[in-house]
């Protein structure tokens, strides 16, 4: 469920149990989403580390550095380039 913030609080408003439950659910939802993002990032980093280790372990590949005027659309791991237009 998407969190809906109450942004029109006034000094004399009474905080009810419904308000507190909504706030607590928002905190819980944010915590869950943050954990999911953290797990996704950890998996991505692990995959990149494995790929980098594979590149490093193969010393038969030539080192190629491209000179480009733009970044590649989807660079491969280990690909290197220097921007000549900056």
Q: Does residue 40 fall inside a structural domain? A: yes
Domain residues for the domain of 68 are: 17-83
Q: Does residue 48 fall inside a structural domain? A: yes
Chunked mean pLDDT (size 10), the chain, 86 residues = 85 94 93 95 90 74 87 86 92
Whether this prediction's pTM lies above 0.75 is answered by: no
For the chain, the domain total comes to 1
Q: Does residue 43 fall inside a structural domain? A: yes
Query: How many Cβ atoms from other residues are within 10 Å of residue 23's Cβ?
Result: 14
Q: Does residue 62 fall inside a structural domain? A: yes
Query: Exposure of 33 by Cβ count < 10 A (0-12 exposed, 13-18 middle, 19+ buried)?
Result: exposed
Q: Does residue 8 fall inside a structural domain? A: no
């Amino acid at each position: 469920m998407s969190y809906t913030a109450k942004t029109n609080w006034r000094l004399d408003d009474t905080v009810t149990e419904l308000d507190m439950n909504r706030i607590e659910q928002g905190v819980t939802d944010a915590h869950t989403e943050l954990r999911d993002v953290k797990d996704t990032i950890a998996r991505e980093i692990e995959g990149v580390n494995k790929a980098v280790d594979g590149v490093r372990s193969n010393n038969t590949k030539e080192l190629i550095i491209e000179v480009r005027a733009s970044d590649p659309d989807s660079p491969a791991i280990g690909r290197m380039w220097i921007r000549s237009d900056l």
